[in-house]
A and B are shown apart, each in its own frame.
Chain A
């Protein structure tokens, strides 16, 4: 995103109108969205009766965009990601990734980073990164160069033959990131990837992630419940209501890129965070 304006809280609570009202997004060339979710509802059947996890949720994400979904715990963020990753099916409404409706089957052009690293302890870092390649039944040897390049990108080039237990939590999460990118997916879905890390590591990971994406240029849907993290990384922040989750605000973040650690100390950054926080309280 190259817009130069400052913070534009759109204050749109009507989700259907959100797209046209967001200034930042409207500056983009209107290609077909990478991701399109329309009036999505997900209801879990449980012994205590149906639980509505996501209600009437609409969002879209365009080529090259970094969009964060920000919401309180239990509002249905992981459920949304589950549908987009093809791990579960919508009860109502639709979700499409690269124009293919998601019906509980993963799209091969998508990479997922999970809340926990979910590395296989019995495989080396390199073999873990190559799992998606193996899953797509492609030749692993064709991807060795790319794997090493990604390892360099996530600053783990010396750890290719290490096992996950020999790495710190932050390093493991970076391996998970490399794994999600090995097949050069057009879209990366991330479910609170840094939530389990301490505040300092977390900040560093945000900066690193931004660097990595600047080189690769992929679209990202990033789930988080940290306002500064969302503001630092995103072109747009979508705020979700408490359970059952809907998008209640669509906010463009127009801080210039590249954003660096010092950006987080800027008054502009703090202002945006403060405004978002206020939106939440309402």
Chain B
């Protein structure tokens, strides 16, 4: 009898715990939605209330109309594709280089001495300032955008790769040495995996930088792309178009980040189980 009662109270407690968990999940979805809706209401309300003209700050409706024309009727796709293409190619290029050069620099003191001052100088260069130069060197086609993207997303990932590899637990490296492991094995078995959390964090930061690079490249000179769309809309005070393009860029950034985060959690599974997920 008493067993029965205690079993019941246990299941009761489990129920409340379960309910709390569900509430927790629900609120993490609902609360940001409320914030978002509130923002839309404030936006529409104040634009209407203060009679702000559309060319300064558009109502929601014209923006939706542009989005509809853009993504349902398809006017936006060529631009989206152009920006996406330069971003993806440039991102892959910049990130590959960042990981290779970062890893070599972290591993080889000699290489570090050769290139470190150069990299510091490049890192402190405002990358946007060299965009016009890149146009002259690479032309107004997509290659200049690719180079711009690669330049922008190189440094965050480069820094993270170096830090990640340098922070390898010395006890692990000693362990490998004690078993006569050659350097390449220690690098492959210990350092790369040990740095994986940092590298993925860098990959995530680099996504935003990559989009920034693509947009700047298109600002400086292009014939299509979301950045070009924003700039040409500026000339005609087409703010709804600008809003629509900016929204598209935000979505690109969010989707890219979500994808990298998903892969991060899949690949770096051991950090999750020890409760130290890197964001």
Contacts and interface: CB of A to CB of B under 8 A. Distances in A.
Contacts of A136: 179-180
B274 A121 contact: yes
Interface stretch (A29-37, A112-120, A235-243): A112-120
B171 A118 contact: yes
Interface in B235-279: 269-271, 273-274
A120 B190 contact: yes
A35 B131 CA distance: 65
B180 A87 contact: no
A105 to B, nearest CB: 8
Contacts, number: 65
B273 A112 contact: no
User: Looking at chain A's contact residues, is the secondary structure mostly helix, strand, loop, or mixed?
Assistant: loop
Nearest to B196: A122
Interface string B169-197: 10110111111111001000110010010
Contacts of A108: 180
A86 to B, nearest CB: 7
B179 A135 contact: yes
User: Looking at chain B's contact residues, is the secondary structure mostly helix, strand, loop, or mixed?
Assistant: helix
B177 A106 contact: yes
Chain B interface residue count: which class? 20 to 34
Contacts of B270: 121-122, 163-165
Chain A interface residue count: which class? 20 to 34
Nearest to A123: B189
B29 to A, nearest CB: 30
A214 B57 CA distance: 83
Nearest to A185: B179
A87 B189 contact: no
B189 A166 contact: no
B181 A135 contact: yes
B229 to A, nearest CB: 44
Contacts of B196: 122
Contact of B177 (A87, A120, A121): A87
Contacts of A85: 178
A36 to B, nearest CB: 19
Contacts of B181: 131, 134-135
Which of A112, A114, A122, A131: most chain B CB closer than 10 A? A122
A163 B175 CA distance: 18
A135 B269 CA distance: 24
A106 B189 CA distance: 19
B189 A131 contact: yes
Contacts of A121: 270-271, 274
A106 B179 contact: yes
B169 to A, nearest CB: 8
B175 A114 contact: yes
A186 to B, nearest CB: 15
A87 B170 CA distance: 12
B102 to A, nearest CB: 19
A132 interface: yes
Interface of B: 169, 171-172, 174-182, 185, 189-190, 193, 196, 269-271, 273-274
Given A132-B179, A136-B179, A137-B182, 10 more contacts: A87-B177, A112-B178, A118-B175, A122-B193, A131-B181, A131-B189, A135-B182, A163-B269, A164-B270, A165-B274
Complex A-B, nearest 10 residue pairs according to Cβ-Cβ distance, in ascending order: A135-B181, A121-B270, A132-B179, A135-B179, A118-B175, A165-B273, A112-B178, A122-B193, A85-B178, A106-B180
